[in-house]
Amino acid sequence: MSVARAATVRAAGVAAPPPPLNVDIESLVTEDDTPVDNMPSEKQQRLLTEPLYSSWAGPGGGRAFVAAANVGVFPEPRNPAIVPDVFLSLDVQVHENFWEKRHRSYFVWEFGKPPDLVVEIVSNQKGNEVGSKRLRYARMGVAYYVIHDPFHRLMRDDLRVYRLRDGDYRRQESPRFPELRLGMRLWEGEFEGVWLSGWLRWTDEHDVLIPMGKERAEHAEHLVVEESRRAEQESRRAEEESRRAEQESRRAEQESRRAEQESRRAEEESRRAEQESRRAEEEHRRAEEEHRRAERLAALLRRSGIDPEQA
């Protein structure tokens, strides 16, 4: 028994049947090519498979998974198979040559374990989702069984989640699947041109919607646009800062020129003041010289008997 199968068996609380020997795959009807699904169910199925492949990295640790819609699951080698609307199986992968008949369907003995989770979408009252299908999934050992009834054909609830315990399903209130690191949520929005308030979507372990490929692309485009806006704003800020710096440089240069002019004026004023001081000193010396000359002349006149005051 594989490790994945053993883990599923322990979680389900049921005994695992031994793998069948010498299975005649060619005698099994694996597909009948009859289009029986309706448009809402088909869209809902793809809304549950596409995001897992486009945006989910799996439960971690590089673990592989298979998610499929409207594909036959064979718990044993006999017809008819049970065909879930959607199923998810961890730690398995599609065979590289899935065109071979033995690899085109989900043969439990080939994959080594049943799916971990199945989803049935109720579109009428004929699917027996709460009856025989529930019993078959329990006997198979599927750990989680989800019934989505958006138009309340069978139930009053939009969503019911069952967890396998001791070989039987018991309802759980929370649409969370800790072992899978996934959850589910009813979502209002548009998918492929159809607006609905009751789409069923996957969430991650933190209850954040796992985006569709289109949403991822739109988000990436939004990030690119935002980054472009930020870059443009930063460019404008840098340009504005450059202009401010240039203006400040011009102001500083003007202030430097003014300071240089003031310095030259002050130097010129200092030279003028020095010249005026020298002139005043020269005038003072001349005045003193004239005074001394006058005194000498007066002395000569007195010696000559002449009164200088009367001369």
pLDDT tens by residue, the chain, 311 residues: 443 444 444 444 444 455 555 666 665 655 655 545 688 889 999 999 999 999 998 998 889 999 999 999 999 888 788 999 999 999 999 888 766 767 889 999 999 999 999 999 998 767 678 788 999 999 999 999 999 998 888 889 999 999 999 999 999 999 999 999 999 999 999 988 888 889 999 999 999 999 999 989 888 888 877 888 898 889 899 899 999 999 999 998 999 899 899 989 989 998 998 898 899 889 899 988 888 888 888 888 888 888 877 76
End-to-end CA distance of the chain: 154
Kindly state the tokens that stand for 151. 């138009």
* Count of beta carbons in the 10 Å neighbourhood of residue 176: 17
* pLDDT score of 259: 87
Q: Burial, 100: exposed, middle or buried (Cβ in 10 Å; 0-12, 13-18, 19+)? A: exposed
> Tell me, what's the pLDDT at 250?
92
Distance CA 212, CA 83 (A): 24
Residues 6+ apart with CB under 8 A from 295: none
Tokens at residue 81, please? Answer: 């198979």
pLDDT at 25: 64
Beta strand 144-148 pairing with 159-165: antiparallel
Nearest CA to 129 out of 166, 82, 172, 173 is that of 82
Q: At what angle do helices 39-55 and 213-303 cross, to 10 degrees?
A: 50
Please give the Cα distance from 208 to 191 (Å, whole number). Answer: 18
- At residue 273, the pLDDT reads 85
